[in-house]
Chains A and B, each alone.
Chain A
Amino acid sequence: MTEYQMKASLNQGKVRKSSEFLRVLKQLSYNKIAMFGLILFILELVLCLLSPVIAPYDYAAMDVIHMNETPSAAHWFGTDDLGRDILTRILFGGRYSITMSLLSVVVSLIFGVVIGSVAGYFGGWVDNVIMRILDIIQSLPGMLLTIVVSAALGNGYLNTVMALSVNGIPAQARMLRAQMMRVRGSEYVEAAQSINCSQVRIIAKHLFPNSFSPLIVQASMAIANRITMCSSLSFLGLGVQPPAPEWGAMLSGARQYIRDYPHMVIFPGLAIAVTVLALNLMGDGLRDALDPRLKR
């Protein structure tokens, strides 16, 4: 193949990729429930991003006179045991919970892609060593690993993001490795090598579109999972701690009041449940949309 023909086929690939993207979106839009999930999630994101503007109170403002109040006109979700407005704290808490999960998924992705690509590309003993290390990480049950890493790193925002991301790296790495091994052996790459085209560029061009769909599906499920894990960490005393309004930390701080002031436990729990539900609906819909067998 001449260089010109090579470039032409590449460009075709690009066009295909963008029409592929549109097709997926169109497919997704037929799935009402998935769209519901997507819209719900985007709505939440917007609310949380706008929280400094729309929140009625300061999330750390204590009001000793109005402690433990049930929902009222002044406080739509009531107040917590230090008189802070729960609605405000949920809005700000979303920023913590959602961004921490998103960040940790991105970090897992980056590390997973790099490690998986390296393992798949070089093969041989490099591949073996990396695979064994991943085996070791995966033989610790997920929550346990997260807890131990979180204890080792300490509390705090960034430390918790790192602790959450360790768990997801092996799965991503394995998937990338499989894709990389497939692509590496394909004819395109051999052909590119023969005309001195950059191997890396070719690989990148063919690797990512193929991995795109499973990565995205995995990622959206993972975000939901991370939110729950992040809350669990706060619940156990690791991760992010009060007065930071992270949802799990709010639940943890309110759990002694579940009998007398259940509203303090219900709202953060609902927030987590609704967010995770929206993400799951979205992820399910995405997976159905990307499934070639269900094409219309």
Chain B
Amino acid sequence: MLRYTLRRLLWMIPIVLGVAILVFTLMTFCPGDPAQILLSGSATDEDIQALRDNLGLNDPYLVRLGNFLGNTFLKFDLGSSWMTKVAIKDEIATRLPRTFTLGIISLLISVAVGIPLGIIAAVNQGRLGDNIATALALIGASIPGFWLALLLILLFSVKLNWLPSMGIGGVKYYILPALTGCTYGIATLTRQTRSSMLDVIRSDYITTARSKGVSELHVITRHALKNALIPIITVVGTHFGMMLGGQMITETIFSIPGMGSYIIGGVNQRDYPVVQIGSIFLAIVFSLSMLVVDLLYAAADPRIKARYSQSAKRKVKTK
């Protein structure tokens, strides 16, 4: 297990490097000259060229790529935003926790609502409970997040005045944004839970358990759910990753200064360092959470655990 984890972590290094190169290259294709945007409208051409030299924009692509990779990965010098001159390291240190918290709360709500809904649907298959649960899940998957956000603000903030509509502070500031992001997760989790529960419920060992006189609740929670966990964990993992990347809109509407608004601001102002470093960080967090998901698999299913340990010992060739 340990070897497997180590191997995965080692693999992350070239992947993150690859992400850095990918994002860097994409940004070089961006139309618009950062130097011109940074200087005021009446800057002369020589001013613009001088700033370009200063920022290294006139060097050839490979030189710039080399500098960027060297600075970021060898010297750990993450640079500063071209626009604000604030060190990117500091900004990320304050912003990443906010985005992360938002993602976790959203995930928790999705799990807390989605899995029970899925169980209800599976257990009541074909009957009213199933239909309601599935209908709710489907509607949740279809509503565009930002539309829901605006409607939720109208309802909870303005009409009922229960929750703040924007900004950061205590836990209650995260509730509406989290609700916005979790509808898609609830929908996917409900459907996934339902289908894997259905798969498992029909299987033999469940019938056996029932015939042994085990209570229905025990059957569902201990036997069925545990075995249905694998696909559910997959969905949870990918959903978390999606949320990390998809917070941009939520953060814009709710004025939350997190990673999403940071990167979107960088994209709009052609602030390359911000976009590059921000993306790398998000990619790292995403890869780490995928690793956690895979480790959870191993914890849930000993067969998978065995497979990991085996593959870490022997390299299986695909031909």
Contact = CB atoms under 8 A, between A and B. Distances in A.
Check A-B contact in the complex, CB < 8 A: yes
A127 B318 contact: yes
Contacts of B245: 140-145
B283 interface: yes
B142 A140 contact: no
Contacts of B264: 147, 236
Nearest to A255: B150
A137 interface: yes
Contacts of A148: 23, 26-27, 267, 275, 279
A276 B141 contact: yes
A266 to B, nearest CB: 9
Contacts of B208: none
B156 to A, nearest CB: 14
Interface string A138-159: 0111111101110111100000
A139 B23 contact: no
Interface string A93-126: 0000000000000000000000000000001100
Contacts of B154: 258-259, 262
A277 B135 CA distance: 10
Interface stretch (A43-51, A57-65, A69-77, A267-275): A267-275
Contact of B246 (A143, A251, A280): A143
A235 B264 CA distance: 12
Contacts of B248: 143-144, 147, 236
B242 interface: yes
A209 interface: no
B146 interface: yes
Contact of A144 (B147, B158, B263): B263
B185 to A, nearest CB: 14
A284 B121 CA distance: 15
Nearest to B285: A141
21 contacts: A136-B18, A137-B22, A140-B23, A141-B242, A141-B245, A142-B242, A143-B248, A144-B263, A144-B279, A144-B282, A151-B26, A151-B267, A231-B144, A232-B144, A232-B146, A259-B154, A262-B154, A269-B143, A269-B147, A273-B143, A277-B138
A-B pairs, 7 with minimum CB distance:
A141-B245, A136-B18, A269-B147, A144-B245, A277-B142, A276-B142, A143-B246
Interface of B: 14-16, 18-19, 22-23, 26-27, 29-31, 138-139, 141-147, 150, 154, 158, 191, 241-246, 248-249, 252, 263-264, 267-268, 275, 279, 282-283, 286-287, 290, 318-319
Given A144-B245, A144-B263, A232-B249, 20 more contacts: A136-B15, A139-B19, A141-B241, A141-B245, A142-B242, A142-B245, A142-B246, A144-B279, A148-B23, A148-B275, A151-B267, A152-B27, A152-B30, A231-B144, A232-B144, A232-B146, A236-B248, A273-B139, A276-B142, A280-B141
